[in-house]
Amino acid sequence: MNKELTNKIIESLKKIPGISNKQANRILNFFLESNVNFTNDLFENLLKIQSQTKKCKQCLAYSNNEICDICLDKKRASKLFVVFENQDIEKIEALDIEKGKYFIFNENINLKKISQETSTKLDLLLDIIKKFDEVILCLNTDLNGQITMQYLKKAITDLYPNKQVYQPSIGIPFGMTIEAIDPISLRQSILNKKRI
Ligand SMILES: [Zn+2]
């Protein structure tokens, strides 16, 4: 087997987030065992979708056009969900709630070093926010996500002191026993208790 080519492919596959050396080897083995047509079709389709897809200039979601259909939709409520990635939009769209618009932030803020790219994205977000009455920071609820939401909240309210900024409350997932829930979520869900 061509060692040099193997290493090159493994290194490329490891650039995919979450793919370890072992998983990269498993993917390579899968293709070595596959039919040539299968590999050809997959890579042709990947190239096709890569060439057709761009990022919407307003919300940074994947789109076939400069501005995506959601951003162009005039019927939506004046609320902006700031989400982490494209899949989050599909998830929120599927909920039976009033539809708003979205902005894909796609990273956690590193307070020690804010890159030029992050700061350009933040400027774009702050500019878009002026069109909305309500902003819902819907990022991941782990520590880095919380730091990012706090940072965004401050940046937004510094510029627009009257803007309503929300984040989803941390609660107990449906069907979960109290024993299995972590203390931070349990504390928050008791603080956010509702009258029944
Ligand atoms: Zn858009």
pLDDT of residue 101: 97
Q: Which two tokens stand for residue 19?
A: 């793919």
Strands 79-83 and 164-166: unpaired
In the reported structure, the alpha carbon of residue 113 is separated from the centroid of ligand 1 by a whole-number distance in angstroms of 28
Contact at 8 Å (CB) between 132 and 160? no
Q: What's the CA-to-centroid distance between 184 and ligand 1, angstroms?
A: 34
Under 8 Å between Cβ of 68 and 129: no
Architecture of domain 3-52: Orthogonal Bundle (1.10)
Q: How far away, in angstroms, is 109 Cα from ligand 1 center?
A: 22
pLDDT of residue 43: 96
HSE toward the beta carbon, residue 184, CA cutoff 13 A = 6
The architecture in CATH of the region 68-166 reads 3-Layer(aba) Sandwich (3.40)
**Tokens linked to 157:** 């309210």
Residue-level pLDDT, tens digit, the chain, 196 residues: 899 999 999 999 999 989 999 999 999 999 999 999 999 999 999 999 999 999 999 999 999 999 999 999 999 999 999 999 999 999 999 988 899 999 999 989 988 888 999 999 999 999 999 999 999 999 988 888 889 999 999 999 999 998 999 988 877 888 888 888 888 888 888 888 878 8
Please report which helix (H) or strand (E) contains residue 129, including its range: helix 116-129
Report how far ligand 1's centroid is from the alpha carbon of 104 (Å).
9
Q: Domain ranges in the chain? A: 3-52, 68-166
Confidence at residue 186, expressed as pLDDT on a 0 to 100 scale: 86
Report pLDDT for 50. Answer: 96
CA 60 to centroid of ligand 1, rounded, Å:
6
Residues with Cβ within 8 Å of residue 105, at least 6 apart in sequence: 82, 83, 84, 121, 125, 139, 148, 152
d(CA 134, CA 102): 12
pLDDT at site 30: 97
